[in-house]
């Protein structure tokens, strides 16, 4: 990846690197005590000069977000993360199906890896890009129960998973979804062809069976300017 060749804002490069890491720390994505990659590794990953990374790290250290330990590396400090207010809404799972049906997308990546959970269950793990009108529309990182995947491997590899689950008649006893605002890091910006640090919708979704076991989970990232959420509330008879 070469950050200098990607879509960027008109700000100094070291400030942009610092801002990406700042977002990750203040959102809790990089937890307290996390060791950051070595300077050389960050330089290679981003395709920027060593001094750019040094300046970014110095900025974060001055802000009290990271601390450097000679011979050990650089670590995220314990910081106070601003609390989020959660707005809880009840909805029917059919609304997820309806939303998915309205999306005309194609899957650009289809590789699936097998993972074993701590409970000894097997899942298919996939990271892919959904495209709309030939342009990236959503990045998806998902896990799907391996036995269910084997019922329609070609469809799951090439279609939206939620639609295939419905078509197969897979019983979903509980479904939950959380939407937050996040920001595009370097890999996300490259995958979605957007500017670094652009706002993105981060959607976390889980489907569970009657025993409470996970069937499917996914984290979806949508560019902030390509998605809007509309809610209609039933008010009852007045």
Comparing 85-89, 198-202, 208-212, the range with the smallest average pLDDT is 85-89
- pLDDT per position as a tens digit, 84-138: 777 777 788 888 888 777 766 677 666 778 999 988 999 999 988 888 887 888 9
Predicted confidence at residue 142, as pLDDT, reads 94
Domain positions in the chain are 6-76, 94-223
- Two tokens, residue 203: 């959607």
Question: Which range scores top for mean pLDDT: 35-39, 107-111, 165-169, 229-233?
Answer: 165-169
pTM listed for this prediction: 0.78
Provide the 3-class DSSP secondary structure of residue 43. Answer: helix
* C-alpha span between 190 and 4 (Å, rounded): 11
Predicted confidence at residue 109, as pLDDT, reads 63
**Sheet strands (E) in the chain:** 66-69, 73-76, 106-107, 113-116, 122-132, 135-145, 174-183, 199-208, 214-223
Provide the 3-class DSSP secondary structure of residue 158. Answer: helix
6-76 maps to CATH 1.10.3720.10: no
Q: For 66, phi and psi rounded to 5 degrees?
A: -135, 165
- pLDDT per position as a tens digit, 8-33: 556 788 898 898 889 888 888 888 99
94-223 maps to CATH 3.40.1410.10: yes
Burial of 154 from C-beta contacts in 10 A (0-12 / 13-18 / 19+): exposed
SS3 content of the chain, % helix, strand, coil (to 5): 30, 30, 40
* C-alpha span between 126 and 109 (Å, rounded): 9
Predicted confidence at residue 101, as pLDDT, reads 73
Contact criterion met (CB below 8 Å) for 200 and 220: no
Percentage above 90 pLDDT, the chain: 42
Q: From the CB of residue 16, how many other CB atoms can be counted at a distance below 10 Å?
A: 22
Identify which has the larger pLDDT, 59 or 3.
59
- pLDDT per position as a tens digit, 33-52: 999 988 888 888 777 889 99
Percentage above 70 pLDDT, the chain: 92
* C-alpha span between 206 and 162 (Å, rounded): 11
For 101, residues 6+ apart whose C-beta sits below 8 A from its C-beta are: 163
Predicted confidence at residue 2, as pLDDT, reads 53
Predicted confidence at residue 170, as pLDDT, reads 94
Predicted confidence at residue 196, as pLDDT, reads 84
Average pLDDT over residues 189-208: 91
Average pLDDT, rounded, for the chain: 86
Q: What angle do CA 123, 207, 215 make, to 5 degrees?
A: 25
Average pLDDT over residues 68-93: 84
* C-alpha span between 35 and 48 (Å, rounded): 20
């Amino acid at each position: 990846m070469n950050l200098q060749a990607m879509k960027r804002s008109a700000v100094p490069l070291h400030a942009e690197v610092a801002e990406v890491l700042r977002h990750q720390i203040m959102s809790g994505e990089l937890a307290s005590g996390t060791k950051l990659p070595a300077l050389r590794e960050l330089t290679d990953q981003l395709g920027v000069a060593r001094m750019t990374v040094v300046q970014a790290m110095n900025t974060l250290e001055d802000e009290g977000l990271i601390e450097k330990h000679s011979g050990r590396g650089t670590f995220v400090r314990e910081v106070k993360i601003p609390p989020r207010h959660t707005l809880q809404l009840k909805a029917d799972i059919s609304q997820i199906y309806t939303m998915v049906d309205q999306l005309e997308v194609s899957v650009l990546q289809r590789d699936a890896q097998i993972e074993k959970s701590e409970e000894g269950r097997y899942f298919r793990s996939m990271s892919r890009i959904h495209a709309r009108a030939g342009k990236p529309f959503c990045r998806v990182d998902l896990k799907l129960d391996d036995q269910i995947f084997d019922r329609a491997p070609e469809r799951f590899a090439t279609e939206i998973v939620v639609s295939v689950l419905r078509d197969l008649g897979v019983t979903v006893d509980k479904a939950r979804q959380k939407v937050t605002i996040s920001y595009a890091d370097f890999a996300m910006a490259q995958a979605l062809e957007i500017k670094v640090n652009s706002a993105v919708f981060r959607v976390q979704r889980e489907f569970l069976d009657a025993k409470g076991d996970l069937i499917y989970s996914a984290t979806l990232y949508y560019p902030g300017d390509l998605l809007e959420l509309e809610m209609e509330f039933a008010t009852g008879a007045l």
